Amino acid sequence: MLLIRQKIMLTTVAVCALIILITTLAYILAAERVGREHLVPVLNDTVAGLIQTQLKASPSDPDAIQTSLDQVIHHYQIREAALYNGEGQRLLHSYRGAPRLQAQLAAKPAETDQAQDDRYRYALSSPRGPMQLVLVNDVSLSGFFLHDTLTTSLFVVCISALLIFILYAATRRWQRRPYRQLVQSVEQASGSASQGQHHYIANADPDYQPLIRAINDLLWQHQQRTQKLTQAHEQAESARQRAIRLSTETRQSNEHLAQEIAVRRGIETQLTNTQFLLDDVINAMPSALFVLDESLHIIQCNELAGDWLEQPHQQLNGKLLFHFIPELETLRDELLDTSAGIRTRERFAIGSFHSGTVFDLILYPLTGQQQARQVLRIDDETQRQQLEEKMVQSEKMATVAGLAAGVAHEINNPLGAILQNLQNIRRRLQPGLKANEEAAAKHHLPLENLSHYLQDRSINQFMDNIQQAGERAADIVTNMLRFSRTGQNQKQACDLNSLIADSLTIALGEQSLRNVHVDFQPTAHPVIAEILTGEMEQVLLNLIVNAGQALQSHQAGQQVLQPQWKAQIKISAIYQGDQAVLSVEDNGPGIPPGTVSHIFEPFYTTKEVGTGTGLGLFISWLIITSHHQGKIRYFTSSSGGAGFEIRLPRKADSEALQHDIRDI
């Protein structure tokens, strides 16, 4: 027969194990559903996009496409992949295990194929005609996932059982300590009474006071009886009967008191466990919670509220809410009106919190006669607002890129007409052509004399200048069109010297770089790295323009102190081991030491409002570290200005490249 405390312990262990089992099953089912309904479609769309890109890039290279299909089926969620032509004939095929796809594809999907959730068709286009890509997926969870999940669950169950046993042992020890002290006191009092001395039992625990008084009374009565027995032997028999009766009553009283004590201890334990559970629940909430009374004093709050206010949350209890959050003073009337039901206030600015600046407020009224009247929930919406602003800024940047491409196209047309007409002018002034000789003879104008006139008046030099300016403008337009293109996700081997030259062609049109000397000496040998050209041009343009703006604001004051000082930007690209190193440095004011640790954070800017978004260096850091597996760091240049060093791997890591492709 198990004791009550043992039953409670076993029940607690069983409930914890059941909760962990249910949680594990829910986690496995959720993982299986996410893989089937979300990961598999996204993975199939990505594979179809890659095969489509490869068909357009190299339609006459089936081995490369077959290699891609062989690599795709290594993913545990793709079992089979096949490529069919427009007539339904299978061109390429790759699979794991037993194949399920036929050599001839039906013109319309069969009803059995439509009912299968693990088979997807994609229509592709290529120079050789329309094609179809068929993918067969394996939506079941992998063995290592189930093994790791079950292992973790068993470990959590063992740890939970151990903690419950430790808690049970500690609680049992605490419960028996007062009882042992009471037994020792009773034994001492009994020993003193046997020696004829009167001794009272003392204990400060209020729960034991009734029992202590009863025992002291019993000892005193026992002493009185003993004295009476010694004084009057004739009353011994009656005194003995009376003592027996009193002993029985005392024993019954003690048993009753023991039962009441046990019940009270159980109630106190349940109340304590309930309080701990409620505290754990509200402390686990990702929101700041304040329980308020009718005068808006804080009755209780969770740990997150104290963390946001940078104070222990226990010290907030009993104090006025407006004392810690004065911004809510404007909502006093709304907070006091508890009859309006649930109320919300979105995007409310609060500067008293340490975590953010913009929050959502939700008020929940409480029913009943308790002191608490309502619960105030505060959610931090700062990151969400910043993300929305970042999305708006990205849309603006995409719009600007589209406008730049349109302007470049419009400039390209008259520019081509200028260069073509200049070429025609030179041909019609060139001696030796029959049509030119006939027209010159008609007007009695020797072409040799005209050539000497053009040479003496430097007209040929003027035409050379026009041609050079036109070709330079054509290069600028070409680079602008290349920079505005989007959707490039394939890394290519590129000479960083050429990349720097193309970026300078675009950047030197900036107003801030008109009076800046750019020192760039290409190396004798190409510096090759596998990069995304468009993204790297964006990084270089951002660094060069930032340097030009810093030099422009620094130039006036510096030239007063040093008249010989000239604004200068130095750019270089070299090899260092297995890395390609690209550096951009200037001789400007540099970056203050207290600001360096924040320059790569999103939305951080030291420029005036309206002149900067704080996203330039953050996007550059994201492109270098995430898209190229490289590093970017700030350093102080030899002239005391700002310098940025970019380190890129000479060859892209194949595993990282596959990871980028899956993310796309």
* Pair of tokens at residue 65: 């496409």
Cα 611 from Cα 392, distance rounded (Å): 16
Long-range contacts of 311-320 (CB under 8 A, 24+ apart): 320/295, 320/296
Instruction: Please give the average per-residue pLDDT across 125-148, as a whole number.
Output: 81
| Contact assessment for residue 569 and residue 584, using Cβ atoms and an 8 Å cutoff | yes
Lowest pLDDT segment from 163-172, 249-258, 383-392: 383-392
Cα 567 from Cα 651, distance rounded (Å): 35
The band of 645, judged by pLDDT with boundaries at 50, 70 and 90, is very high
The amino acid present at 459, given as its one-letter code, is I
CA distances from 246 to 239, 253, 650 (A): 10, 10, 99
Instruction: Please give the average per-residue pLDDT across 301-309, as a whole number.
Output: 88
- State yes or no: pLDDT of 133 exceeds 70: yes
Phi, psi of 649 (to 5 degrees): -65, 140
Q: Which pLDDT score, from 0 to 100, does residue 217 have?
A: 81
CA dihedral sign, ordered 440, 441, 444, 449: positive
The amino acid present at 396, given as its one-letter code, is K
Per-residue model confidence as pLDDT tens digits over 448-474: 888 888 888 888 888 887 877 777 677
Instruction: Please give the average per-residue pLDDT across 368-387, as a whole number.
Output: 81
Please tell me what DSSP assigns to residue 553: H
- How many Å is the Cα radius of gyration of the chain? 43
- State yes or no: pLDDT of 176 exceeds 60: yes
Strands 568-576 and 517-520: parallel
* Pair of tokens at residue 321: 């809410």
Largest CA distance in the chain: 175
Per-residue model confidence as pLDDT tens digits over 600-609: 877 667 666 5
CA distances from 119 to 77, 241, 636, 642, 655 (A): 12, 95, 57, 55, 27
Cα 1 from Cα 475, distance rounded (Å): 94
Order across the sheet with 374-380: list the strands. Answer: 298-301, 288-292, 374-380, 358-365, 343-349
- State yes or no: pLDDT of 114 exceeds 50: no
Q: Which pLDDT score, from 0 to 100, does residue 193 have?
A: 63
| Boundaries of every domain in the chain | 285-380, 382-486, 489-664
Instruction: Please give the average per-residue pLDDT across 102-119, as a whole number.
Output: 60
- State yes or no: pLDDT of 132 exceeds 60: yes
CA distances from 428 to 425, 443, 462 (A): 5, 14, 16
CA distances from 478 to 300, 429, 484, 500, 531 (A): 66, 30, 10, 15, 19
The band of 8, judged by pLDDT with boundaries at 50, 70 and 90, is confident
Q: DSSP strand E in 58-99: where?
A: 78-84, 90-95
Cα 320 from Cα 288, distance rounded (Å): 16
Among 172, 66, 86, smallest CA distance to 127 is for 86
Domain covering 285-380 assigned CATH 3.30.450.20 in the classification: yes
| pLDDT winner (highest mean) among 219-233, 268-282, 424-438 | 268-282
Tell me the CATH class for 489-664: alpha beta
Q: What angle do CA 393, 396, 401 make, to 5 degrees?
A: 130
Per-residue model confidence as pLDDT tens digits over 72-87: 888 877 888 888 888 8
Instruction: Return the percentage of the chain with pLDDT > 90, whole number.
Output: 7
The band of 659, judged by pLDDT with boundaries at 50, 70 and 90, is very low
Annotate 477-497 with DSSP letters as a single string: HHHHHHHH-------EEEEHH
**Stronger pLDDT, 124 or 114, i.e. the higher one:** 124
Lowest pLDDT segment from 157-166, 204-213, 414-423: 204-213
Mean pLDDT value across the chain: 80
Per-residue model confidence as pLDDT tens digits over 314-340: 888 888 988 888 888 888 888 888 777
Instruction: Please give the average per-residue pLDDT across 1-29, as a whole number.
Output: 81
- State yes or no: pLDDT of 231 exceeds 90: no
* Pair of tokens at residue 263: 């019940």
Please tell me what DSSP assigns to residue 444: T
